[in-house]
Amino acid sequence: MRALMRLWTVLVMLLLALASAAKVQVSFTYDPPAGLEVRSVSLRGSFNNWAELPMRKQDNGTWALSVELEPGVVQYKFFINGQWPKNMCDDPTFGTPQVDAEAQGCVDDGFGGFNAFREIRLEADAPAEGGAAELNFEHDPSAVRYVSVAAGRLSVRFEVRAGSVKEAFLEAGGRYPMHRQLSYADVEVWRAAVPTSVGEYRIRVVDSGGQEQSFGPFSPPRQPFAALDWVSGRVGYQIFLERFANGDPSNDEKALVSDEYNFNQAWSKDPGAPKPFVSKWTDPPAGDHCCHQYFGGDLAGFLQKLPYLQEQGVSLVYFNPLFDSGSAHGYDTHSYLEVSPKFGDKALLKKALTEAHKRGIRVLFDFVPNHTGLGFFAFQDVVRRGRNSPYWNWYFIKKWPFVPGDATAYEAWGGFGSLPKLNTGNPGVRQYLIEVSKYWLRFGFDGIRVDVVNELVDAHGFFAQWRRALKAVKPEAYLVAEIWQRDASWLQGDEFDSLMNYAIGRDVVLRYVRGGPLFNGNRMLLELARVYATYAEAVAAMGFNLIGSHDTARILTDLGGGGLRETPSAEALGRVRLAAALLYALPGVPVFFQGDECGFGGEKPSSPPYDLHRYPVQWERCRSDLQAHFKQLALLRKELPGLSSPVFRTFKGEGSVMAFLRGEPGEGEVLAVFNNGGDPARLELPAGAWRDALEARTYRGELELAPLGWRYMVRTGGGER
C-alpha cells in the first residue's frame, strides 16, 4: 500500500510539473496617471472568469501582479478604485493613453467598452545549427479541436512549431495527404479529412530537415463531436420583432396590458414616472427608448415580409424573445409558454414557422433562463406568500415582504429590479426550463439562442443536462450561446453547437474593415487563425457569425456612417459592403441584424434615448444598391460549394490585403480576397488558374483589387503552391 501511495504521489507531482511547464509567468503593471489617487487595483480577466486578483502597490507608485497563464490570447481589465475603466486603450480617467501600456490592443467587451488583450506565448526553442526546428507535435484524438466530424468527413488535425514540417500524411488503410491549414505566431495546424469509418490511424510527418517521423497509433472517439450539416452554408437574419414590421395594428395596444408597469410597484406607485405607450411607426425615439415605447411590430408583419427575406437569400432566422413579457425587448419573461399578445398567438406563430419552412428558412427562438420578469407566476407567488411559496428557492430573496421592482430585495440581472435572477442550481428550476425548451422544439422551432449563458448558477452543469434532454427530442436542434469572448469551454460537444461569434465579427472582422495600419491584413489573418485553431472544425462549420446585433450599434454606424438620422458617406457604405463580403466568406452562417442590408445607422448611447439601433425598420428608406449587394452574396454562397464547406485555410496577409482559402484543396476551392485600404492593391495568387466568381474571367499569377475591394476566386485547375 505504501509503495502504491509513493507511486501515486510521484505521478501527481509529475502531472503538476507538466501542467506548470505549459504555463507562462506573466507580469501585469498599472501605472496611474498623475493626480489620480489610487486606493485599490485588481486584475480581472478571461483566464479566471473575471474574478478578483488583488494587485500590490510598489515603492515607485505602480501596482503589480504576476500570474501563471496558459499560452493563448487573454482579455482583461484592471479594476481601479472599485470601477471598471470603460476602455483599457483610451480612458483619460485611469490611463494616458492606455490604462495598461503593455496591452497589445483592445476588443469590444460587450457592454459598450473595451477589454485589453495580450497574446501569451511559450519561448520558442531555436533549431540546432544546420538542423530542423523541433516539432513540438501535439495531437489528442479525445480533444474536439483535433478530431471532429463536419460535412460527413472526419477532420483530423495536429499542431507543430511553425516551419518544422514539410509534408504530412494520415495513414489508416490508405495514405491521406495532410495540408497546412492555419499559421499564426509560432504555430501551424495541419489537417486532413478522411472517411468517418476510419479506425486506428497514424500521423507521419517529414520535418524541415527531411527526416521522417511517425506518431500514433491513435483511435478516434466512438462518437466524435459532429456538425449539423444543415447549418453550414445558410444565411442568417436576426429579427427584433417589435421593430420589424407592423402587419396587424389591432394588437398594438396589447403591449400595454402585459407591460412591466402593471407589476413593478416601485415604478407604478411613483406619480411622476412616465408610463409605457404606443407610437406610430415613424415617431421619433422618446425617453427610455429601449424598453417601453412600442411601435407594433408583430408576427403578421413577419409573414408579410417572408417573400422579401426569401428573395434576399435568407435561410435562417433568429427571433429575439417572442414570449409574453413586460417590455419591448422581451428579456423579462412573464410566461415561457405563451406568445406575447402584442405579436399574435400560438396559431399565428405556428403559421409563421410553417410558411418559413416552406421557403427553406429554419428558425431559432431566444431563450432566457437566467432571470424572469416580474409577472412570471413563480415570482408573483413569492411576492404573495414569501417563505410559504414553493418557489421561494427559485430565486435569491434577501428580504420579504418587498415591493416588486426593488432590486435590493432580491438578486437581479444587472441590478435591474425588473429582472429577478433564477436559481438554476435548483432541480425544480432546471426541470422547468428544460421542459419549456423541449416544448418549443416540438412546436416547430429548429434551434435555440440562449441569453447570458455564462451568468447562470452552475452554468456548465445545467447546459450539459439541457443539451442531453433537447438532443433526445430533436437531434438536429441548433444550440447557440450568447458568449461574447472566444471560449471553447462551451463547445466540447456536450453543451452548445456555436457561440454568438462576436469574437470573430467584432474583435476581428470589424477591426480589419475599419482600416488603418494597426489592424492590417496580416494581423487579421493571424487572429482568424487563432480562432479556428481553438475551435473544432465541427464548430467552425456551425459558426453563428455576426458583427452587429440588437446589443450593439449598427454596423454602418460602427464603420463611420453616422447615427440614426445621418446620411452616410460613400466610404462608410463601401466598408459595409466589404464587411458583408468577408462575413459571407467565413465558415458557418453570416448573421445580420434587420435592416443592415438597407444601410441604416443607429447608435447605442449610454444616456437616453437608449438603443437607437433598435429603431423600427423604415422599409421605404432602404438602399436598393446595398440590398442588391447582400442578395448577390447570398447567391454566390449558394452557387460556390467552397463557401458552404467547413474548411478554412490561411493564405496571405500583407499590408491592406488579406486572403484565405475555403473548401477542400483542389478544383472548386475558393480564394476569398479583401482590401481594406483606400488605394488599389495587388495579390500574388496561388499556383494554377483562378476564375473570378463575378466576372467569369480567369486569372493566373497576380490579381488587382480596387479600394475597399473584394473577390471570390474559384480554382479551376493547377496545383497548390
Instruction: List, by residue number, the catalytic residues.
Output: 451, 482
List phi, psi (to 5°) of 408.
Answer: -80, -10
457 vs 424: CA distance, rounded Å? 5
Cell of 280: 406610430
Grid cell locating 104: 497589445
Q: Is 164 helix (H, G, I), strand (E, B) or coil?
A: coil
Residues 386/410, Cβ–Cβ less than 8 Å: no
Contact 670, 653 (CB under 8 A): no
Q: What CA–CA distance (Å, rounded) separates 279 from 286?
A: 9
538: cell is: 465541427
How far from 453 is each of 20, 51, 276, 606, 718, CA to CA, in Å?
Answer: 30, 17, 29, 24, 47
Residues 364 and 480 sit within 8 Å (Cβ to Cβ)? yes
Write b or e for each residue in 264-277: b if 16 or more Cβ atoms lie within 10 A of its Cβ, otherwise e.
bbbbbeeeeeeebe
Contact criterion met (CB below 8 Å) for 629 and 579: no
Is the alpha carbon torsion for 350, 351, 354, 357 positive or negative? negative
Residues 6+ apart with CB under 8 A from 128: none
In three-state secondary structure terms, 606 is coil
Bridging pattern class, strands 72-80 and 362-367? unpaired
- Which letter does DSSP use for residue 686 in this model? P
Residue 359 CB coordination number (10 Å): 13
| Residues 348/340, Cβ–Cβ less than 8 Å | no
Beta bridge partners of 367: 450
Q: Amino acid identity, residue 381?
A: D
